[in-house]
Structure 1
């Protein structure tokens, strides 16, 4: 999970501060030493760490903090403010051209996930009312053009290609003419990468830049490469000039060095982060929300965003009516499970809840397979069984267990939990019990 090791160490450090009534300069100095070590272990750039710790220390030993009634919390607030500032203060959005089309040029080394990110970005911006066109400008890597076409086909987004015989510059120029004729107001160009930065690569990218004058050049880097990602970003910025960064594999970056160093070293903002392999797994980068997550304060705003995106408003209203009418069935339960899965892996969702720190999450068994088993059991039931589970006798249980690849005990457990849930739904659907405070929660006795 993103920032797992760093978050765990910082939260442990600040837990000690919070437990003290008064702080001395020595207390702050010891805490900052632990913060410094945690950041260096997270592969954060050394100069960035040094500047960060100096800024926090300077603010944390002021009389305003040391004489505060809650000095530990005051120091944590300072760290949160400085972390947010380090990563860019506010969300940095894509800049759209005042006169269409907006041309985005994605650059980066091989293996960073550039081609897939082109599709993910197009899908995100289509939701904002844009009509994207993907451009296959990588003519060197085997199957790069085919890969982009597959991505475009999955998303139902057109892909412009001229094969691998024309130059990338000619392809980019022709794509802009094509977009003008077909009403595409957003062009995303996939460019070639190399295993390392070299003159040939940079010369080609500069030529494309000069030919099409992109609205923004976005660098795609692998977050899990830590300090190497920062070095790549610095090099691309110096030689090409970039407008922003997209960090891929952010969900697997347990250290967080790239996210905490990129903006400080290059001066360029992180605009998006890749949170998984699905084509919907690209999220805007919010520095303040990330800082909150690192310090165990949760991220309610992102949780709400995910829920609003995953849950169907119409289905939610239908469910409310069913609850009020006490008609909650296994079909409704299955529908809720499917929408919950759309929010992403459970550990990511739980990590956004305030107070749910990394240590607590380690003690929680987050098994997405268990949800899959529940889903399989429900799908192995007949329509009548889903609507009226009371008819499920021992022979039916055996059939359901065989059909779902589970045990009869698993089926029994699910039926028992569902019965408890139905009782709870009946209490929700009874206004008299709600008014009189008679509602009891069967899960908690």
Structure 2
């Protein structure tokens, strides 16, 4: 996947430094060299890399650091913050409003994936309650209207185009006028692909803009464009003054850093990433979440949104949530979590969202990763009801059960032991989360009476003591055990269901516990499940 290798190299460089016994300026410089080399090899602009290096060095000045400062944590936080700054232009993208027409115009190079992305974005807004429509103003490319018509029909989105009119500005104006009259709220206009050296097509682009006066112009950029991204983006910005960027084909094998350079060059926000060919393969872009995912920390909010989009079954989630609040995590809970992962789509897409799963499936493609998870299901299916509903201690007391399960599932004793080892690690995390939940409940009860200011101060002190062993700084308020309760509340609140987490299909526990273990140095869910 695009940028996956970049994330591994940066993560490895920071990890090697923080594990080093001799954390001095030389080790710090070596880490910076590796990070810069990784960015350059990913086609990030050299001036941008130099600027990043200077910013990190300025923030971590060894000569002036007090002795009490935790250097490792400071370095981790600085690297994280500067990488976020690299992809964050600090500019708010346009947000469409319901009850009025919002015209969105797409521009970009030939072959960037504009037509497909138009349909993806229309579907994205459609599923969120907007009345959406598509207009094909690409009269240059043969088959452009047929492609948009086919995509729109499949997604059940109204469309407009012409097989006889050759002036794209007229087609665009007619389509927009038609859908405005019919009170559509999102009207997306697809245009021809063009290059900065094609002056006539750039003039045509401005004519279309004048004809339809879009509320937002979006530049669609191929993730594999490389070093040319900055020049092309600057040319489109000067002519069309686009307000947002969508990067496509991020599921390929190209470096992908060139598209990041375009953000810095134009000070324009990325709003979505195209992650595949299907209509669902469009991810909302958020700088902090993107860097967390890049560095293997996962993207919990993105995961929750994805799960809610693909499943409505909440029975398992409610049962799992009930268990975790009691500090319990059975073998059956683990099985349901693995099953939920398998239902949610390609493993390559999910592994970046779920902390720990990227370790579990490291070096595996979608087919191998799915096979690995299926073998885990074979192990669960060879267990008795008593074994599945147990906390796992039954296998320690009666090791012969492990041999029986291996024989019954056609796997090995080693695989059974690895599976149980992963379950023990996750059960330990569940116990801590359950304890945290009880602490919060006790604190809430305390605040119902007495001196609230004193009780609040005492509660904050206790929570700080519990969360003091935090993990990677800069994780958006999820840096320690004390903040895990916040994430639990966030997950519980998704979908509006009280007392459970509708739509999460049990996956909330897997992601949350992997997140915890990653923060605490447990290596996420990346145990040794499966055959080596």
Q: Same fold (TM over 0.5)?
A: yes
Superposed counterparts of 1:9-408, under 5 Å: 9-21=9-21, 23-61=23-61, 67-68=67-68, 70-88=70-88, 93-96=93-96, 100-194=100-194, 197-253=197-253, 255-313=255-313, 316=316, 340-341=341-342, 343-355=344-356, 361-364=361-364, 366-367=366-367
Q: Structure 1, unaligned stretches of length 5 or more?
A: 324-332, 375-409
Q: For residues 95-145 of structure 1, give each alpha carbon's deviation from its aligned partner in whole angstroms, at most 9, with x where no partner exists.
A: 226872100000111111100000000011112221111001101111100
**In structure 1, how many angstroms separate the alpha carbons of the residues matched to 2:178 and 2:299?**
42
**In structure 1, how many angstroms separate the alpha carbons of the residues matched to 2:117 and 2:186?**
15
**In structure 2, how many angstroms separate the alpha carbons of the residues matched to 1:370 and 1:353?**
15
Asked if structure 2 preserves the Cα contact closer than 8 Å seen for 1:80 and 1:291, the reply is: yes
Q: 1:420 aligns with which of 377, 380, 383?
A: 383
**In structure 2, how many angstroms separate the alpha carbons of the residues matched to 1:143 and 1:336?**
43
Asked if structure 1 preserves the Cα contact closer than 8 Å seen for 2:91 and 2:267, the reply is: no
Which SS does the other structure have where 2:224 is aligned? helix
Asked if structure 2 preserves the Cα contact closer than 8 Å seen for 1:87 and 1:263, the reply is: yes
- In structure 2, relative to structure 1, the CA distance for the partners of 1:160 and 1:424 (3 Å cut) is farther
**In structure 2, how many angstroms separate the alpha carbons of the residues matched to 1:135 and 1:68?**
61
**In structure 2, how many angstroms separate the alpha carbons of the residues matched to 1:421 and 1:262?**
56
Asked if structure 1 preserves the Cα contact closer than 8 Å seen for 2:229 and 2:261, the reply is: no
**In structure 2, how many angstroms separate the alpha carbons of the residues matched to 1:336 and 1:355?**
13
**In structure 1, how many angstroms separate the alpha carbons of the residues matched to 2:70 and 2:358?**
21
**In structure 2, how many angstroms separate the alpha carbons of the residues matched to 1:229 and 1:49?**
15
Asked if structure 2 preserves the Cα contact closer than 8 Å seen for 1:20 and 1:72, the reply is: no
- In structure 2, relative to structure 1, the CA distance for the partners of 1:314 and 1:300 (3 Å cut) is closer
Match of residue 398 from structure 1: none
- In structure 2, relative to structure 1, the CA distance for the partners of 1:185 and 1:365 (3 Å cut) is closer
Give the TM-score normalised by the residue count of structure 1.
0.77
Which SS does the other structure have where 1:225 is aligned? coil
1:151 CA drift (Å): 0.5
Match of residue 2 from structure 2: 2
**In structure 1, how many angstroms separate the alpha carbons of the residues matched to 2:24 and 2:82?**
21
1:70 CA drift (Å): 3.4
**In structure 2, how many angstroms separate the alpha carbons of the residues matched to 1:149 and 1:262?**
31
**In structure 2, how many angstroms separate the alpha carbons of the residues matched to 1:349 and 1:167?**
43
Q: For residues 319-351 of structure 1, give each alpha carbon's deviation from its aligned partner in whole angstroms, at most 9, with x where no partner exists.
A: 98xx9xxxxxxxxx99995x6456332133123
1:41 CA drift (Å): 0.9
Which SS does the other structure have where 1:129 is aligned? coil
| Range moving further from structure 2, 85-94 or 265-274 | 85-94
Alignment RMSD, CA only?
A: 3.5
**In structure 2, how many angstroms separate the alpha carbons of the residues matched to 1:336 and 1:361?**
13
1:26 CA drift (Å): 2.7
Match of residue 387 from structure 1: none
Match of residue 330 from structure 1: none
Asked if structure 1 preserves the Cα contact closer than 8 Å seen for 2:145 and 2:162, the reply is: no
Asked if structure 2 preserves the Cα contact closer than 8 Å seen for 1:10 and 1:35, the reply is: yes
Q: Structure 2, unaligned stretches of length 5 or more?
A: 324-334, 406-415, 421-532
Q: For residues 5-50 of structure 1, give each alpha carbon's deviation from its aligned partner in whole angstroms, at most 9, with x where no partner exists.
A: 2112212211221023563333322221222111111110111111
Which SS does the other structure have where 2:273 is aligned? strand
**In structure 2, how many angstroms separate the alpha carbons of the residues matched to 1:165 and 1:119?**
22
Q: For residues 48-73 of structure 1, give each alpha carbon's deviation from its aligned partner in whole angstroms, at most 9, with x where no partner exists.
A: 11111100111012567573553123
- In structure 2, relative to structure 1, the CA distance for the partners of 1:122 and 1:158 (3 Å cut) is same
**In structure 1, how many angstroms separate the alpha carbons of the residues matched to 2:383 and 2:67?**
52
**In structure 2, how many angstroms separate the alpha carbons of the residues matched to 1:259 and 1:66?**
39
Match of residue 395 from structure 1: none
Match of residue 393 from structure 1: none
Residue-pair matches, total: 388
1:86 CA drift (Å): 1.4
**In structure 1, how many angstroms separate the alpha carbons of the residues matched to 2:81 and 2:228?**
26
**In structure 1, how many angstroms separate the alpha carbons of the residues matched to 2:296 and 2:337?**
31
| Range moving further from structure 2, 294-303 or 138-147 | 294-303
- In structure 2, relative to structure 1, the CA distance for the partners of 1:146 and 1:219 (3 Å cut) is same
